[in-house]
Amino acid sequence: MKVDPQDYPTRPLAALPPGSCDCHVHLFDAARFPFAPNRSYTPGRARVADLLAFEARLGIERIVLVQPSVYGTDNAALLAGLRELGLQRARGVAVIDPHTATHAELQALHDQGVRGIRLNLQVRGERDLSAASAQLQRASDAVAPLGWAVQIYADLDVVAGLAPDIARLGAPVVLDHFAGARAHTLPDQQAAFATVVDLVKHGNAYVKLSAPYRASRQAPRFDDLAPIARTLIDARPDRMVWASDWPHTGSAGNRDGDLTRIEPFRREDAGGALNQLLGWADAAALRQRILVDNPARLYRFAERPAT
């Protein structure tokens, strides 16, 4: 059946609990905030008005803006988005250089609603565990005094290799997109997945049940993710959060390096992804945890940042 653009994304089959949070979205506006020249792609425009319309269809009230790789360490677009959204409903995850960021600079980000930093090991192609561990430790040392989290985007085997380091950190760690697990490669990575599940069970790691299209080849239902999701949820339901990954970058697959070409966003149904979550977490108390309580604790929505 063809879906009318006005009916997209589809609405979830059940109302979400009040205070539900989308823990991973991006904003792009090159006209106001130029992209970094050394980026790997050029996305289209995704502004706060577009985001609010998207979240309204889903019934989402709280939002976590995540700094995308195309802006490097220039967090101006993210901070502008936080101001526009208001700190009663939004928090941010920035990208910094932990070698040079001062405490005063980090405190200024904190006062504007930032509650974490991102290490995008996937985009960098970082697979050297020694180098990744050093980056992770520097990041934790920089932000742990502020109570921030360190967010990691990496493949499952890299996360598993970093598990001992993650377990020792003073800052909580957030593992993007099913902790890097992919359903089609999991049969060959059972040991790595078991390591990550054990980390989540006994450590300070959170997992985003997000972007199923990055973890499965069985579009549009992604049924093969159910065992992964349920295993993670069963391990630590108080460490699971949900995110849409809006506006769904990466449609070009292997990018050709032509930065003059605007890469269109994927057409992904976040309402369908939410319905998956509602199936994996079929009890009201569990949905409350994943959609409301866990992100409120992790991103400290109870606090009133300075304005």
Q: Identify the structural domains of the chain with CATH numbers, from first to last.
A: 5-298 (3.20.20.140)
- Give me the pLDDT at residue 114, please: 98
Rounded distance, CA 52 to CA 284, Å? 25
- Give me the pLDDT at residue 161, please: 95
Cβ neighbours around 183 below 10 Å, total: 20
Tokens found for residue 97: 């250089």
- Give me the pLDDT at residue 293, please: 97
Strand blocks (E) in the chain: 21-25, 42-43, 62-66, 90-94, 114-120, 149-153, 173-175, 205-210, 240-243, 262-263
Of the ranges 40-44, 215-219, 303-307, the best mean pLDDT one: 40-44
Rounded distance, CA 225 to CA 239, Å? 18
Whether 125 shows a pLDDT value over 60: the answer reads: yes
Rounded distance, CA 144 to CA 131, Å? 20
Say whether pTM exceeds 0.85: yes
Whether 1 shows a pLDDT value over 50: the answer reads: no
Q: Using alpha carbons only, what angle is made at residue 15 by residues 10 and 18, rounded to the nearest 5 degrees?
A: 125
Rounded distance, CA 106 to CA 100, Å? 11
Cβ neighbours around 235 below 10 Å, total: 17
What's the rounded mean pLDDT across residues 183-212? 94
- Give me the pLDDT at residue 204, please: 86
Maximum Cα interatomic distance, the chain, rounded to a whole number of Å: 54
- Give me the pLDDT at residue 9, please: 86
Rounded distance, CA 46 to CA 52, Å? 11
Mean pLDDT of the chain: 91
